[in-house]
Amino acid sequence: MKFGEVIKSADFKTEKHAPVIEAPEKIKSEELFEVEVSVGKEIPHPNTIEHHIKWIDLYIQYDEDPNTLHIGRYNFGPSINEPIIKTKIKLAKSGKLIAVSYCNKHGVWENSKEIKVEV
């Protein structure tokens, strides 16, 4: 079994584990913009020692590029902080932001959002 086969995805409106990416759909090339990724936006996710989000990774996959670039990993402690991150990035070309989160009880979840870069 490959790791990609165990990654789960779902609509965040019906599944509390799916990460939500909030970012503009269109930006200008090299323009700094804010990205927020959260878990439990519509349905709150527990934040206890027994059941919590341990980390969120953020990636970019540029259009027509087979490589995926890692933007950052954000770690969380149970009952200390909520699984929400905000970061500022800039892109030179269009692509797909990919967020991956890890729940210590229910595994790895992903979601993505297309970002169009206007030159």
Q: Write phi, then psi, for 53 (nearest 5 degrees).
A: -85, 125
Q: What does the pLDDT look like over 5-41, one tens digit per residue? A: 888 887 767 778 999 999 999 999 999 999 999 999 8
Active site residue 52: no
Q: Is 54 a catalytic residue?
A: no
Note if 15 is an active site residue: yes
Catalytic residue among 45, 52, 110, 113: 45
Whole-number pLDDT of residue 12: 67
Determine the Cα–Cα distance for residues 98 and 115; give it in Å rounded to an integer.
Answer: 11
Cβ-based neighbour number of residue 5 at 10 Å: 6
User: Which superfamily, per CATH, for 3-118?
Assistant: SOR catalytic domain (2.60.40.730)
Let me know if 45 is a catalytic residue.
yes
Q: Where are the domains of the chain?
A: 3-118
* Residue 1 confidence (pLDDT) above 80: no
Cα angle 89, 66, 112; round to 5: 50
Q: Is 118 a catalytic residue?
A: no
114 is an active site residue: no
What's the whole-model pTM score? 0.91
Position 78 pLDDT exceeds 90: no
Under a CB-based contact definition with an 8 Å cutoff, are residues 74 and 55 in contact? yes
45-76 pLDDT tens trace:
999 999 999 999 999 999 999 999 999 999 99
Q: Which of 15, 41, 52, 113 is catalytic?
A: 15
Q: Is the pLDDT of residue 80 over 90?
A: no
